[in-house]
Amino acid sequence: MSPRTKIQFEEIRQKSRENIEKIALELFASKGYHATSISQIAEKAGISKGLLYNYFESKEQLLNSIIMKVYDELMKIVGMNDNLPADKQIEQMIIQTIEHLKKNITFWRLYLFLIHQSEVQKQLKELYNKMRIDYMDFVIKLFSEIGSKNPDMDALLLGTMFDGIALNYVTVPEDYPIDELKNYLIEVFVKNKKVKK
């Protein structure tokens, strides 16, 4: 067997990191962030505690990595269609956000349980403020471009709607009219906001 290449080694390392993050998220959500130890995460991941520290310096860094992954995913969705007109960007952002939620329901369920823990909220306050500002700046710009009378409030309301939809959908996915809501959001935030020329 030939030795692994640098690329293969990096792929293995990335898969290991992702597995540790997935297990940590499950444990943080079910047991609570403070009640979960690095030892418990390592044991469930099938690795030694020392090896886990090769991937993450601390439990706090592991939590931050999970949150940054969410941030990166969401910002990718928000900016993925920046070559389209603003109204189409908002429409695609709504569609992609809802589809991401539907395809990753287990992840979002755990994530929402995690971020509602008071100790996690305190620890992540600064990071959340940055995420909120980045999201809001971008979406306010889009609403301004389509002629919204109050782009700040429209951006805030759309973000709040996404939060509420996510919380309700992960609680009762089989009974929640998520596709109807997706269409309604497009109607309210795109078609009814666009200034007629």
* pLDDT tens, N- to C-terminus, the chain (197 residues): 567 787 877 888 889 999 999 999 889 888 888 899 999 999 999 999 999 999 999 998 998 898 888 878 877 887 767 788 999 999 999 999 999 999 988 888 888 888 888 878 887 777 777 777 888 899 999 999 999 999 999 999 999 999 999 999 999 999 999 999 999 999 999 988 665 44
DSSP states of 16-44: HHHHHHHHHHHHHHHH-TTT--HHHHHHH
Do 72 and 139 reside in the same domain of the chain? yes
* DSSP category for residue 197: -
- Which pLDDT value is given to residue 197? 45
Do 37 and 93 reside in the same domain of the chain? no
User: Do the domain assignments include residue 197?
Assistant: no
Do 40 and 127 reside in the same domain of the chain? no
Number of other residues whose CB lies within 10 A of the CB of residue 43: 14
- Which pLDDT value is given to residue 50? 92
Do 30 and 124 reside in the same domain of the chain? no
Do 72 and 151 reside in the same domain of the chain? yes
Alpha carbons 15 and 31: distance in angstroms, whole number: 24
Nearest to 179, CA basis, from 109, 105, 101: 101
23: containing domain: 1-56
Amino acid at 84: L
Do 33 and 96 reside in the same domain of the chain? no
- Which pLDDT value is given to residue 194? 61
CATH number at residue 6: 1.10.10.60
- Which pLDDT value is given to residue 29? 84
Do 34 and 86 reside in the same domain of the chain? no
- Which pLDDT value is given to residue 119? 79
Number of other residues whose CB lies within 10 A of the CB of residue 142: 25
Identify the burial level of 22 via C-beta atoms within 10 angstroms of its C-beta, where 0-12 means exposed, 13-18 middle and 19 or more buried: middle
CATH number at residue 71: 1.10.357
- Which pLDDT value is given to residue 24? 93
Domain count, the chain: 2
User: Do the domain assignments include residue 15?
Assistant: yes
Do 8 and 101 reside in the same domain of the chain? no
Q: Dump pLDDT digits (tens) for 57-78.
A: 999 899 889 888 887 887 788 7
Cα dihedral 161, 65, 26, 173, rounded to 10, equals 20
